Amino acid sequence: MKTAITYGTFDMFHIGHLNIIRRIREHCDRLIVAVSTDEFNAGKGKKAFIPFEDRVEIVKACRYVDKVIPETSWEQKREDILREKADIFVIGDDWKGKFDHLSDICSVMYLSRTPGVSSTMLRKIRASAPDE
Ligand code: C2G
């Protein structure tokens, strides 16, 4: 039983989010996703459009996801990996190299991002869209 863990905001859930979750699931039997809380995002200088509770429900509903936990700090990854007995930490290659320090307790994998789509872009489109 191989467990993978990944982290993210998953705001305005889009094909880039689905692609990476689906691809991670090809490397494991169990996938845990840590979703950034609104407070943690504020620390990242990010303001998600979709509230944390809804982002959690949407990720939970994804067929490739077995468990969702909150991401409340940068430092929790090591503790999460040990608690969940995760074998692989996986994240998009926009973070390449940033989490190599976790390689003493699990494999660290960076997967290529899906080009042409981002939550930021979708938020901008939504902001400029006329109210329906
Ligand atoms: N992603 C992707 N392709 C995109 C957009 C995002 O593969 N077009 C991936 C990212 O690389 C990341 C995941 O989807 O692995 C979630 O992306 P974000 O919600 O933007 O997450 P981020 O804000 O980068 O938070 O502690 C780590 C942070 O919580 C990551």
Over residues 71-97, the pLDDT tens digits come to 999 999 999 999 999 999 999 999 999
Interatomic CA distance for residues 102 and 121, integer angstroms: 31
Phi, psi of 123 (to 5 degrees): -65, -40
Rounded to the nearest integer, the mean pLDDT of the chain is 96
Q: Whose CA is nearest to atom 11 of ligand 1?
A: 92
Ligand 1 centroid, distance to 9 Cα (angstroms): 7
- pTM equals 0.95
From the CB of 33, is ligand 1 less than 6 Å away?
A: no
Is a pLDDT exceeding 90 seen at residue 44?
A: no
